[in-house]
Structure 1
Amino acid sequence: MKNVRFKNILDEEIFFDENGDLSIGYEIVNVVYLPNGTQLNEIVGSYNPYALPGQDFIINEKSITWDTELNQVPPQSKCSQSCTPGLRKLISKEKPVCCYDCIPCADGEITNQSDMDTCTKCPDDQWSNQKRDACIPKAIIFLTYEDPLGISLTLVSMIFCLVTAIILGIFIKYHHTPIVKANNRSLSYVLLISLMFCFLCSLIFIGHPDRLTCILRQIVFGTMFSISLSSILAKTITVVIAFQATNPKSKLRNWMSSSVSNSIVLCCSLLQALLCLVWLCTAPPFPYQNTKSEIGIIVIECNEGSIIAFYCLLGYLGLLSGISFTLAFLSRNLPDSFNEAKYITFSMIVFCSVWLSFIPTYLSTRGKYMVAVEIFAILASSAGLLGCIFIPKCYIILLKPEKNNRKYLTRYIKT
């Protein structure tokens, strides 16, 4: 066969190549059986392996005459239908290569051509559409002021801040009364003002996170709460010293001055500020696009930078509240008129309960709900401090003014 070479009547050179293909190609013949029983051979196309690409296979479908049993539908060259975009081929080892199943691509993967063997994974900032044939940008979410959850938390924050401002106004108006003077009036003012900022700092957690807000969130939160807890600690120490130094000649009376209380607040707050400064200098918080926490969604959130520093901040607040709770609990049975120990004990129970439940809840939530959990903890713990310490005093000032006098309080102590 390799040595065959001749010219036909059309002066075309005929030979076979190394694969056994004819040099001039092949004609595609449609065999038609006429009703009278005769056979008609009609050329409907050609195949020439030596022709230019795109011209090697030519066929005229309109010239093809199909048998009536085929109902004019071309026969299938394979036993499976083509897999459309969005599907991929799944070949079974027990079947021929031309037989396969078509299965949808997984979430986040697509096929944009027919009969693809594998699906293509979408980029991190994109996700597959419903048909799995194209990648579309992921939805971006964060806790906004337009969100019902964000609106609710904002309203609660503003209401508590307003209530705190009203209580501060009551204390300033009745500043000359014994119930306000009891246990360091200045510390009460500092505590109320710091609680107002604690309520307001929750607003920084709402809105689109950027580098500045991510830093301010934890710094303002940690500083304001350290001032509040330092004030409560100073109040608790003052209560303990006051009832231990009943003798006018006692040296402990020197520790009851306002300068000692102010020093406690200042020192404890500066320690927290120093911790925040170290945090900012080493690994400060920064905005982060979280593409892994929720399927098909990009969550804009603040990365803490150093999770160790974050838990050190919370741990320091826990230390201050633990010391205050211990001192207040041991002093809870002292005379109640000038003694806030009982109320401080309740406030520290509420504060510690909120933040102990915060940690597992925070770690088990995702997306904008993590921010909502932290805001709720800030509001709940601040409200606990405000309610347990100041509501009983406001009750006496506004509803029981006959108890708000030095003679009554002194008689109560003597009993």
Structure 2
Amino acid sequence: MGRYNIFSYQRSGERYGYVPVGEWAESLSLNSDLIRWPKEVAPTSQCSDPCERNEMKKMQAGEYCCWICTACEPHEYLADEFTCSPCAAGQWPTDDLTSCYDLPEDYIMWEDVWAIGPITIACVGFVCTGLVVWVFVRHNNTPLVKASGRELCYILLSGVFMSYAMTFLFLAKPSPAICALRRLGLGTSFAVCYSALLTKTNRIARIFNGVKDGAGAVRPRFISPSSQVIQLVMVSVWLLLEVPGTRRFTLPERRQTVILKCNVRDSSMLLSLGYDVLLVILCTV
């Protein structure tokens, strides 16, 4: 059972000395008026300073009044004074770090530099394709146009026109309808071009082979018009298996940027072009 006298070391006149200001005898008895603090302000009695707005308290083992202030990551908010919690993908902490909010979606705008270039090329392509169509229509019944495979040329030009039109679909803001048209139009436009080109190439090859062999050339079955709907069937099945829609995409190293994209996988998009690759190979053979 302790008993203590409490002194304050202070200046009195020209001398310094200890002045009794209280005692402890099972309870504290303290005369605060006798205590003199430097600059008349009592010093702060604490083990650790309060943490900043973006810092959490990391308590020391066995301590209740002492802690280490640890800064939260830029993408984290303060769930409580002892915990920094990360915001979900596509979210960012509010200014007061009490919660998270959804980041605005980023996508290619029509006025962006990356959009102006493809749009310009597509417009030039429309003009060139339109001029060729105009020439064919004007000279539709001439021997030269007939010999070139008039109907197949129109189909080929329509596929070229569709390919240029796909530029605007890929620059438009992603939505379920836009994503469906992208998947339907990309492979189909190429298939229209390559199927017409394959038919023209095969027709010429059969003509020369027939002349060389002295026998009539037989058209293969896969050149028939009904065979050219394979791409549409493949894309339709793909749309049923993987319903078109959008998703918010965030890179781990750029969590503050959210990109609005179609929910299709890049691998699926490449697989959808497999039939077009087959047509190209057949044209080459």
Which TM bucket (shorter chain)? 0.7 to 0.9
**Pair 239,92 (structure 1): closer, same or farther in 2 beyond 3 Å:** farther
Higher strand share: 2
- Alignment-derived partner of residue 102 in structure 1: 69
Is 1:83 aligned to 2:55, yes or no?
no
Assess if the C-alpha contact under 8 Å between 1:286 and 1:305 holds in 2. no
CA distance in 2, matches of 1:123, 1:65: 54
CA distance in 2, matches of 1:111, 1:72: 33
In terms of Rg, which structure is larger?
1
* Among 174, 180, 184, the residue aligned to 1:219: 184
Deviation of 1:38 after TM superposition, in Å, equals 9.0
CA distance in 1, matches of 2:126, 2:34: 86
- Alignment-derived partner of residue 239 in structure 1: 204
Give the share of equivalent positions with the same residue, in percent. Answer: 22
The CA deviation string for residues 211-235 of structure 1, in whole angstroms up to 9 with x for no partner, is: 1111111112222221111001001
Higher helix share: 1
Deviation of 1:127 after TM superposition, in Å, equals 1.1
Assess if the C-alpha contact under 8 Å between 1:226 and 1:268 holds in 2. no
CA distance in 2, matches of 1:232, 1:64: 105
Assess if the C-alpha contact under 8 Å between 1:150 and 1:206 holds in 2. yes
- Alignment-derived partner of residue 35 in structure 1: 12
SS of the counterpart of 2:105?
strand
SS of the counterpart of 2:204?
helix
Assess if the C-alpha contact under 8 Å between 1:143 and 1:208 holds in 2. yes
- Alignment-derived partner of residue 102 in structure 2: 137
Structure 2 unmatched runs, 5+: none
Is 1:301 aligned to 2:261, yes or no?
yes
The CA deviation string for residues 364-410 of structure 1, in whole angstroms up to 9 with x for no partner, is: xxxxxxxxxxxxxxxxxxxxxxxxxxxxxxxxxxxxxxxxxxxxxxx
Deviation of 1:33 after TM superposition, in Å, equals 5.8
TM-score, normalization by structure 1:
0.55
CA distance in 1, matches of 2:35, 2:123: 83
**Pair 244,161 (structure 1): closer, same or farther in 2 beyond 3 Å:** same
Structure 1 unmatched runs, 5+: 2-28, 48-60, 327-415
CA distance in 1, matches of 2:283, 2:214: 27
Assess if the C-alpha contact under 8 Å between 1:285 and 1:305 holds in 2. no
CA distance in 2, matches of 1:173, 1:244: 33
Assess if the C-alpha contact under 8 Å between 1:112 and 1:133 holds in 2. yes
- Alignment-derived partner of residue 329 in structure 1: none
Deviation of 1:92 after TM superposition, in Å, equals 7.0
Deviation of 1:89 after TM superposition, in Å, equals 3.7
Is 1:167 aligned to 2:119, yes or no?
no
Deviation of 1:275 after TM superposition, in Å, equals 1.0
Is 1:270 aligned to 2:240, yes or no?
no
SS of the counterpart of 1:196?
helix
Deviation of 1:119 after TM superposition, in Å, equals 0.9
CA distance in 2, matches of 1:239, 1:142: 46
The one-letter amino acid paired with 1:77 is: Q
* Among 224, 235, 240, the residue aligned to 1:281: 240
CA distance in 1, matches of 2:273, 2:35: 84
Aligned length: 271
Deviation of 1:193 after TM superposition, in Å, equals 1.5
Q: Using CA pairs below 8 Å that are at least 6 residues apart, which structure has the higher relative contact order?
A: 2
Assess if the C-alpha contact under 8 Å between 1:285 and 1:304 holds in 2. yes
CA distance in 1, matches of 2:201, 2:247: 41
**Pair 112,33 (structure 1): closer, same or farther in 2 beyond 3 Å:** farther
SS of the counterpart of 1:245?
helix
